[in-house]
Amino acid sequence: MEPVNLTIVYYSATGTVHTLAKAAAEGAEKAGANVRLRKVAETAPAEAINAKEEWAQHIRDTADVDVVSGDDLDWADAALFGTPTRFGNVSSQLKAFIDTLGPLWFHGKLSNKVYSAFTASNTPHGGQESTLLALSNTFYHWGGIIVPPGYTDPIQFQSGNPYGTSHVVGSGPPGDVTLQAARYQARRVVDTAAALKAGRPA
């Protein structure tokens, strides 16, 4: 069977969600998937970005990451979406990309794929779950197959978020448990997509 094609689409202003996205890419590659790691286009004005050095630095650090296009989702059997929490919701940058996908959705090109999501927030109760659930609304509209990590692996009892890998930025950069959870989530997505792919006519 052909390997699973997985696209990881993320937005990150200061690098946290990018770190989770890279860990997810590692997990997916280890599980045998072809992986496209893609950032969404930045939409914030230069004054806002340049007012925060970590934000400007992160843009420079990730200049070599390709910007996602609709083709990256058309190609994919599965997609993982990553966004920072913004007032308990999805970042506008990721949402702006999602809102370009009407034509693909209309032609049925987003349905029957496996979807899952991850996030970061500043505080433990800052809206990680509401952000992940908000992103899932989109997956429902697409006719996606939502595959959350749940408590399906021992790492989930340590990381503690069944909705999707998440990190509290106020406690420092993502540590080993969170990165393992991101790798595990990606593996679960790839394994599920592989089973579906094997059961479908070519």
Contacts with ligand FMN by CB under 6 A lie at 12-17, 84-88, 120-123, 126-127, 169
Nearer to ligand FMN, 4 or 132 (CB): 132
> Which single residue brings its beta carbon nearest to ligand FMN?
126
Shortest spacing between CB 165 and ligand FMN, in angstroms: 12
- Select 48 or 198, whichever has its Cβ closest to ligand FMN: 48
β-pair type (145-146, 34-39): unpaired
CB of 111 or CB of 123, closer to ligand FMN: 123
Rg (CA), the chain: 16
- Residues pairing with 84 in the sheet: 120
Nearer to ligand FMN, 80 or 120 (CB): 120
How far apart are the C-alpha atoms of 181 and 195, rounded to whole Å?
21
SS3 2: coil
**Nearest to residue 76, comparing CAs of 139, 130, 15?**
139
- Distance between CA atoms of residues 58 and 110, nearest Å: 30
Minimum separation from the CB atom of position 123 to ligand FMN (A): 4
Q: Roughly what angle, to the nearest 10 degrees, separates helices 16-30 and 176-198? A: 50
For residues 87 and 157, which CB has a smaller minimum distance to ligand FMN in the complex? 87
Tokens 């990606």 locate to 186
CA 19 to chain CA centroid, Å, is 11
Report the DSSP beta bridge partners of residue 120.
Answer: 84, 167
CB of 135 to ligand FMN, least distance (A): 14
Least separation in angstroms between residue 129's CB and ligand FMN is 11
Q: Shortest approach of ligand FMN to residue 2 CB, angstroms?
A: 32
